[in-house]
Amino acid sequence: MIDQSSGKSRATDPGRGATDLISELLLGMRLVGLHYRRVQMTPPFGVRFDADVGRAQFHFVARGPVYVRCDSGAQCVLQTGDAVLLPRGGGHEMVSSPNLGALDITGFDAVPICRQVDAIDTCESEKTEIDRLLFFSGCMEFDLGSMGLLISMMPEIMHVGTLLKRSPEILPMLEAMEREVCRERAGYGAIVTRLADVVSASIVRGWVECGCGDATGWVAALRDPRLGRVIGALHREPGRNWTVASMASEMGASRSVFAERFLAITGVTPLRYVTDLRMRLATQWISQDRLPVDTVAERLGYGSAAAFSRAFKRVTGASPGVARRA
């Protein structure tokens, strides 16, 4: 992976396993909350979330149970103190019982608590605390940079409960979230958003440390010691003048053997993989980091900004200027 502040690459022990390699490449992970809601409702209720493409959704239940129901049919139940991350967002609903309908969350009156945090409370004043279900939700920017392909391999719903045995340090954070959300102490909005960001990142890390679940294809390439060495080098040095011959040399194989194996496992040719990787990084650096086009071109090994711009438009269908305005 390239350290974006210095442009220097980090060395990796080629003997390490795929999970170690993915962990190193995840150093550039960005998982930052954009908009949060503290939602308190009396059953029966159902609220719908339509997260933007490319955004993740996080839910923590401070007083449950609450059911998560995705448009795809995937679902789970969250008890008190439970949390989930939906890494690809998408349409889904939070309901107090499985068969209820749902109304769009944006249709409820929301009171600003602090920057990024709103409160929605539809409970009648005479209702006791035990009658009220309470959850905290966040829409998040989830960017893995050069590892963006990994998001498509993650489960639709990543349940924190499956990670607590391996990552017990998450439990105190969940308990702290429950206290902050329920008690509404001064400044709780800022505190709980930070906790949500950390818990979400911990869920992703836990999945990686467990071997990326049932992910296949690209992760299988990383699990191949020789091919994984090539993939790691590409991600650490995307601006290097990569050729099939130089990649084959990294693997210690002939060009034909390397190219055939790379295509069989990843589903794309080696040079196509390099191009796609560069364009994912370029999109991030231009649209999010706001780097000048000539800087991006230099980092990615293009001889000029014009050459980079032509390649960018050919692959993405849009010019760098359009990507910056997106």
- CATH number of the domain bearing residue 56: 2.60.120.10
Domain boundary among 168, 191, 209: 209
Whether the CB-CB separation of 51 and 30 falls below 8 Å is answered with no
248 is a domain residue: yes
**Owner of token pair 């997106």:** 326
- CATH number of the domain bearing residue 248: 1.10.10.60
State the total domains in the chain. 2
Domain boundary among 181, 209, 237: 209
273 is a domain residue: yes
- Is there a single domain that holds both residue 319 and residue 184? no
- Is there a single domain that holds both residue 89 and residue 137? yes
Phi-psi region of 187 (alpha: psi -120 to 50; beta: other; left: phi over 0): left
Global pTM reads: 0.76
Tokens standing for residue 272: 């196509």
- Is there a single domain that holds both residue 178 and residue 92? yes
- Is there a single domain that holds both residue 232 and residue 309? yes
- Between 12-21, 85-94, 128-137, 297-306, the lowest mean confidence (pLDDT) is in 12-21
- Is there a single domain that holds both residue 295 and residue 169? no
- Is there a single domain that holds both residue 160 and residue 223? no
- Is there a single domain that holds both residue 30 and residue 49? yes
- Is there a single domain that holds both residue 152 and residue 274? no
13 is a domain residue: no
pLDDT band at 266 (very low <50, low <70, confident <90, very high): confident
**So what's the pLDDT on residue 125?**
61
- Is there a single domain that holds both residue 139 and residue 240? no
70 is a domain residue: yes
Helix (H, G, I), strand (E, B) or coil at 135: strand
Domain around 202: 25-209
Which distant-in-sequence residues (6+ apart) come within 8 Å of 73 by Cβ?
Answer: none
- Is there a single domain that holds both residue 236 and residue 185? no
131 is a domain residue: yes
Distance CA 196, CA 207 (A): 17
17 is a domain residue: no
Q: In this structure, what is the dihedral angle of CA atoms 214, 215, 220, 225, given to the nearest 10 degrees?
A: -80
Instruction: Give the pLDDT confidence of 73-87 residue by residue, as tens digits.
Output: 999 999 999 999 999
Whether the CB-CB separation of 68 and 87 falls below 8 Å is answered with no
Helix (H, G, I), strand (E, B) or coil at 193: helix
DSSP annotation of 145 reads G
275 is a domain residue: yes
Residue 176 reports pLDDT greater than 60: yes
CA proximity to 282, closest of 307, 306, 303, 299? 299
- Is there a single domain that holds both residue 245 and residue 276? yes
Sign of the Cα torsion 19, 221, 250, 283 reads: negative
pLDDT band at 15 (very low <50, low <70, confident <90, very high): very low
Domain boundary among 209, 231, 266: 209
Helix (H, G, I), strand (E, B) or coil at 75: strand
Please state, as a whole number, how many other Cβ atoms lie within 10 Å of the Cβ of residue 131.
Answer: 12
241 is a domain residue: yes
Instruction: Give the pLDDT confidence of 177-217 residue by residue, as tens digits.
Output: 999 998 888 888 889 999 999 999 888 888 877 767 666 66
Q: How are beta strands 75-78 and 103-104 bridged, if at all?
A: unpaired
Mean predicted lDDT score pLDDT of the chain: 85
pLDDT band at 8 (very low <50, low <70, confident <90, very high): very low
DSSP annotation of 138 reads E
